[in-house]
Chains A and B, each alone.
Chain A
Amino acid sequence: MGFFRIFRAEWLKKKGSIAYWMVLAGAFFVPLVQMLTYLVYPERLLILHQDTGPFWELVFQRSWNMMSTVFLPMGIVIATSMLCQLEFKNNAWKQVHAAPVHFSTLYFAKLAVVLVMLVQLILLFNVGMYLAVSIPSLFHSQLPYPAYSIPYLHFLYEDLIYFYMCIPLVLLQFALGLLFRNFVVPVGIGLALVVAGMAAISWKYNYLIPSVYPFLHFISSIRPEAKTFNLMNWTSIYTAGFLLAGYLGYVLNPRKG
């Protein structure tokens, strides 16, 4: 019961904050770019309608291709750091830690808020995908309305895997965000990791860099034969490691605000 109370308090803190707006912007940025592209070049969407493959799965793949490479990891780095920064920016850590709440409850309630925000982002991204291919048909008569049946369960399953692939980066960024008062440090480290992941995408051991996991999942979903390692296992290992390191770093910090 105490956990949900603190979760509610943490959830309220993000109301109207930059982290809140980052989720909306992050969810709709890629779909917006796609929608504008299809409005200007309707033939690119027409190709998808004429393709023999399932329409929605092609749309899903195209959208996740752009999202998983850069935008999702970058969004995680910035939004997670922004959320942790709320306490530093408002000099609130000292008040939070002087409240009658266990440190572990605080840590996990805050983390739960970040993870729920990530779920929000992925679900809104799906809504954005739908709108990106539906709205152009209202403006171009040659584009049919995409009335094909949507494979909801498949999409939800894939969304769940993408969510799981993001967790190591969320935990790393969360740990850094709680540790450093200066916002530039966690964001700098996080973005450097994202860039390093992009640069090392063709590297044999690219699975050692957790920021590329969403993209590696995307690759393995379209080319299952390309998968030479167990991404789920690596994600689980990093998740356990970053969770433990982040929690201990927070709880054992002798200065609490």
Chain B
Amino acid sequence: MLCIETSGLHHRFSNGQVAVDQLSMQVPVGSIYGFLGPNGAGKTTTLRLLLGLLKRQEGEVRFFGQSMSGNRVRTLAGIGSMIETPSVYGHLSARDNLRIWTDYFNCSKNRIDEVLEIVGLTDTAKKKAYAFSLGMKQRLGIAIALLHKPGVLILDEPTNGLDPTGIIEIRDLLKRLNKEEQITILVSSHILAEVEKLVSHVGIINHGKLLFQGTFSDLLSKEKQGILLETGNNILAIQLLREKNILAELSGDELLLPVLDPRSRAEIIDFLVAAKVPVYRLEQRGKNLETIFMDMIK
């Protein structure tokens, strides 16, 4: 079953630039869906369209099979969100901030202590929010999103600007929420290393178009397999390898060779060294999100 589903979602800014182009996203129930893309790819615009913060121009948005059109209030009652920077009233304490949102979400005041504990802010509940670090504000933002026990969390770059400890804390928290509270999480990010450790499903967007969508293992299987070779003279190495019927292509500062058995690899090294081409490194290309991502958005 799908938790979030869009079909033909399209959005054009007033200057004519297409921000989201016929996007059909499918987020399965119970998944942690990483929405990846470089800056300006259309991630935030898509999330704003999902939440109704931008007026939809074309296409449809459905949550748990129900169309958002004409059901805005009822649909939003099941969604927790944090878009870009957390919305925190700086002149109020964490507890007062949460009191405001319990009224908005029409939920019990008892939830305040529960969510403060979940995000680890119990000891700072009375502190004014302007004195919070960015990490604490992010956690308070997540606490707000969790107040009404939503079925789905939509988080836009929740670890932006956090230090490594903060990133790990937020990642662990999201994993826990997904596992223990069965909350489906849609999280956008451009930090690949972080997404790699968190998500079960991935959607890759660039220039408003969805380039890939599926499970994380599906994505990894898409990677072009081969051998990476780093030499002191790549151009000469390509020519020499061609003489031996091995097709090498330039991939950044390295050469990408087809898959070879260990004996052939050793022979290549001997061959190149004998031809006075220094060989610095030779390795099997690993399954790496970064390379797949870069290949896709090229």
List A residues at the B interface (Cβ < 8 Å).
Answer: 2, 5-6, 8-9, 12-13, 15-17, 86, 89-102, 254-257
Complex Cα spacing A85 to B79, Å: 26
Which of these, B55, B73, B87, B100, contacts A94 with CB under 8 Å? B87
Complex Cα spacing A17 to B129, Å: 13
B230 to chain A, nearest CB (A): 46
Question: What number of B residues sit within 8 Å (CB to CB) of A?
Answer: 33
A209 to chain B, nearest CB (A): 34
1/0 per position for B64-86, CB-CB distance to A under 8 A? 00000000011111010111111
B280 located at the interface, meaning its Cβ lies under 8 Å from any Cβ of chain A in the complex: no
Contact A15 B92 (CB under 8 A): yes
B22 to chain A, nearest CB (A): 20
Q: A16-B92, A100-B73 are in contact. Are A6 and B104 (CB under 8 A)?
A: yes
* Chain A residues, Cβ within 8 Å of B53: 94, 97-98, 255-257
Contact A91 B105 (CB under 8 A): no
Complex Cα spacing A99 to B144, Å: 11
Contact B105 A100 (CB under 8 A): yes
* Chain B residues, Cβ within 8 Å of A17: 91
* Chain B residues, Cβ within 8 Å of A96: 87, 104
1/0 per position for B103-143, CB-CB distance to A under 8 A? 11110000000000000000000000000000000000000
A2, A17, A97, A98 — most chain B CB neighbours (10 Å): A98
* Chain B residues, Cβ within 8 Å of A91: 84-87
Complex Cα spacing A6 to B103, Å: 6
* Closest residue of A by beta carbon distance from B148: A100
* Chain A residues, Cβ within 8 Å of B77: 100
Complex Cα spacing A216 to B55, Å: 43
Q: A6-B104, A12-B99, A13-B92 are in contact. Are A97 and B52 (CB under 8 A)?
A: yes
Complex Cα spacing A245 to B75, Å: 28
B96 located at the interface, meaning its Cβ lies under 8 Å from any Cβ of chain A in the complex: yes
1/0 per position for B42-54, CB-CB distance to A under 8 A? 0000001001111
Complex Cα spacing A98 to B74, Å: 11
Complex Cα spacing A102 to B48, Å: 17
Contact B81 A95 (CB under 8 A): yes
Contact B73 A102 (CB under 8 A): yes
B101 located at the interface, meaning its Cβ lies under 8 Å from any Cβ of chain A in the complex: yes
* Closest residue of A by beta carbon distance from B88: A90
* Closest residue of A by beta carbon distance from B92: A15
Complex Cα spacing A211 to B106, Å: 38
B47 to chain A, nearest CB (A): 10
* Chain B residues, Cβ within 8 Å of A89: 90
Which of these, B83, B84, B89, B101, contacts A99 with CB under 8 Å? B101
A-B contacts, 7 listed (Cβ < 8 Å): A12-B92, A92-B87, A93-B87, A254-B54, A255-B53, A255-B54, A256-B54
Complex Cα spacing A95 to B84, Å: 10
Contact B104 A101 (CB under 8 A): yes
Closest 10 CB pairs of A and B: A95-B87, A9-B103, A254-B55, A100-B77, A92-B87, A99-B104, A100-B76, A98-B51, A9-B100, A100-B73
Q: A9-B100, A12-B99, A256-B53 are in contact. Are A100 and B74 (CB under 8 A)?
A: yes
Which of these, B76, B91, B100, contacts A16 with CB under 8 Å? B91
Complex Cα spacing A100 to B52, Å: 11
* Closest residue of B by beta carbon distance from A7: B103
A95 to chain B, nearest CB (A): 3
A15, A92, A97, A99 — most chain B CB neighbours (10 Å): A99
Complex Cα spacing A15 to B129, Å: 13
B91 to chain A, nearest CB (A): 5
Complex Cα spacing A214 to B52, Å: 41
* Chain A residues, Cβ within 8 Å of B104: 5-6, 9, 96, 99-101
Contact B96 A15 (CB under 8 A): yes
Contact B144 A101 (CB under 8 A): no
* Chain A residues, Cβ within 8 Å of B87: 90-96
* Closest residue of B by beta carbon distance from A99: B104
Q: A91-B84, A99-B76 are in contact. Are A13 and B51 (CB under 8 A)?
A: no
B176 to chain A, nearest CB (A): 23
* Chain A residues, Cβ within 8 Å of B86: 91
Contact B76 A5 (CB under 8 A): no
* Chain B residues, Cβ within 8 Å of A256: 52-54
B143 to chain A, nearest CB (A): 12
Contact B89 A90 (CB under 8 A): yes
* Chain B residues, Cβ within 8 Å of A8: 103
Query: Which B residues from 209 to 263 make CB contacts under 8 A with A?
Result: none
Complex Cα spacing A13 to B91, Å: 9
Since A8-B103, A9-B103, A15-B91 are in contact, a sample of 15 more A-B pairs with Cβ atoms closer than 8 Å, ordered by chain A residue number, is A2-B106, A9-B100, A89-B90, A90-B89, A91-B87, A94-B48, A94-B51, A95-B101, A98-B83, A99-B105, A101-B73, A254-B54, A254-B55, A255-B53, A257-B53
Contact A98 B91 (CB under 8 A): no
